[in-house]
Amino acid sequence: MQKNDNIYPAGLYSFQDECLKLLTGVLNVSKAATYLVDSQRKPICYKTWQLQPAMHRQYMDTFYKLDPLHPTQFVEQADISVVKMNDLVNTQERYDHPYYRDFVSPWGVQDIVELFLRVDNQLIAGFALFTSKQQPEMRMEDIRKANQLHQFMQFSLEQSLAAPKHSQFQVFCDQYQLTPKERMVVELVSQGLPNKSIASGLDCSLATVKTHLQHIFTKTGVNSKTEIASLLYNLH
Amino acid sequence: MQKNDNIYPAGLYSFQDECLKLLTGVLNVSKAATYLVDSQRKPICYKTWQLQPAMHRQYMDTFYKLDPLHPTQFVEQADISVVKMNDLVNTQERYDHPYYRDFVSPWGVQDIVELFLRVDNQLIAGFALFTSKQQPEMRMEDIRKANQLHQFMQFSLEQSLAAPKHSQFQVFCDQYQLTPKERMVVELVSQGLPNKSIASGLDCSLATVKTHLQHIFTKTGVNSKTEIASLLYNLH
DNA sequence: GAAGGTATCAACCAGAAGGTTGATATAGGG
DNA sequence: CCCTATATCAACCTTCTGGTTGATACCTTC
């Protein structure tokens, strides 16, 4: 577990931002979301675009369990990278199933396309693109574009992970032997986020974040988040 | 005032550290100190080496006024860069004057050599090197070495100010039109220092630091020191 | 000399962050 | 099977930070 994780998914904060901008800028979607997949295969670090906070909360609280596009469904299928919901689930099912009846449909969503990014066959990030009932149905052409974008994002991801900035982050984390979750905390700290945001980013409690921070502080020998950010960018 | 100061002395935190290490490592001194000179020609951002905190406090509280090597004595004399106290002040004076009788001598100091760094003829940093009464008197050879080191430090300073890292700092400060003192605060924030340390570094009260921070927060549109550090190293 | 920018400091408050202890659960190695 | 490492969370307390208001002083510039 540690082995697979000491590179991913930490260090991808701005990568997510840029990808989301790209997708929503090029494709005709009404809402979008992105997340990273942690070592326990749990989606964390959600970032959304024009997606109602209440809808996201509903998903996180309840409906993620029923999601046919949930990343856990695709961790093993390394060949699947772009999935269209309405292709995966037939029309009848979409009428019967509570996921569509009680969640997808009420929020005015017509279809969802999910993009997965992998490194070494391991799923590490995902993107959900929503079209609304007011929009025209998604066509082959749109899916082709999505595949095109996916391909470039996959390329860009590998570049990002090889960049000096990223390796600097790795050097720091390796130097102090931080655990995967601790690395994620450091990543979010380095973005200047308050603990509350870090907690919601990692989908855990404030208490857990504080515990992680305490461990990071002891390992690195500092005593504030600002100092962490400073250390990170002033490696000796 | 603004004009002369929007480059210096901010951004020299690690430069000071390295210089102090160099001087104390190469020259045979018992204590040392370094400082930056701000726009009001006041020494700030002291860093010391083997110098008793109590001695430093005494100097800062009282004796700085009597110091014949005090930087204000040399702001105008752009040709003077390395000064030896015992050459500047004759033996008799050193017996009579309270600065030596009540401060220098009681702390076991035999001689002091001061080095000044300038940019555009403006004094921006100083180094004080102390020899103790237990050490042999400083000779011509030592002064030659000090001059040699000074020359390189002067070169290195110019390099540092031209380095990408420094210009990044400048870009940030210019972008948000920060005042000289605000820039100093940002510099110390970027080192991860708590407000109390920033206050003592700038030789002002905690309240002043907080006011500076509030202004920086409004100008940059953030609301925490960690975010400042993050912004600084993640310029868009 | 009035106005604006800068630098200084005080007092106050609410909320965030840091520090500690202790507890639970789970995965993996020996 | 036990031990360790990891991840999770709660409760508590202290200290630090952020936000606000208001005041003084100095220096330019108009």
With CB atoms and an 8 Å threshold, state whether B226 touches A226. Answer: yes
Counting the structural domains of chain A, the total is 2
Find residue A84's DSSP bridge partners. A113
Contact A179, A110 (CB under 8 A): no
Q: Is A33 at the interface with chain B, CB within 8 A?
A: no
* Residue that is last in its domain, among A162, A185, A214: A162
Provide the shortest C-alpha distance from residue A114 to chain B (in Å).
Answer: 28
Provide the shortest C-alpha distance from residue A35 to chain B (in Å).
Answer: 21
Nucleotides of C under 7 A from a protein CB: 5-11, 16-23, 27-28
- Whether this prediction's pTM lies above 0.95 is answered by no
With CB atoms and an 8 Å threshold, state whether B229 touches A226. Answer: yes
- Domain range for A188 is 164-233
Q: Based on the fold, state whether residues B34 and B148 are members of the same structural domain.
A: yes
Q: Based on the fold, state whether residues A141 and A177 are members of the same structural domain.
A: no
With CB atoms and an 8 Å threshold, state whether A192 touches B222. Answer: yes
Q: Based on the fold, state whether residues A174 and A204 are members of the same structural domain.
A: yes
Rg (CA), chain B: 19
Chain B, nearest residue to A234 by Cα: B191
SS3 B30: coil
What does residue B45 show for φ and ψ, rounded to 5 degrees?
A: 55, 50
Distance B192 CA to C11 C1' (A): 27
Chain B, nearest residue to A189 by Cα: B226
pLDDT along chain B (236 residues), means of 10: 43 83 88 90 91 92 91 85 92 88 95 92 91 91 89 82 79 91 94 95 95 96 94 76
* pLDDT tens per residue, range A200-233: 999 999 999 999 999 999 999 999 999 999 998 8
Q: Is B40 at the interface with chain A, CB within 8 A?
A: no
Cα B95–chain centre separation: 29
Q: Is B191 at the interface with chain A, CB within 8 A?
A: yes
User: For chain A, what's the residue count?
Assistant: 236
Higher-confidence residue: B51 or A154? B51
Strand D closer than 7 A to residue B196 Cβ: yes
With CB atoms and an 8 Å threshold, state whether B233 touches A229. Answer: yes
Q: Report the CATH number that the domain containing residue A62 is assigned in CATH.
A: 3.30.450.40
State both tokens at B206: 């905690």
Q: Based on the fold, state whether residues A9 and A28 are members of the same structural domain.
A: yes
Q: Report the CATH number that the domain containing residue B185 is assigned in CATH.
A: 1.10.10.10
Q: What is the pLDDT of residue A235?
A: 64
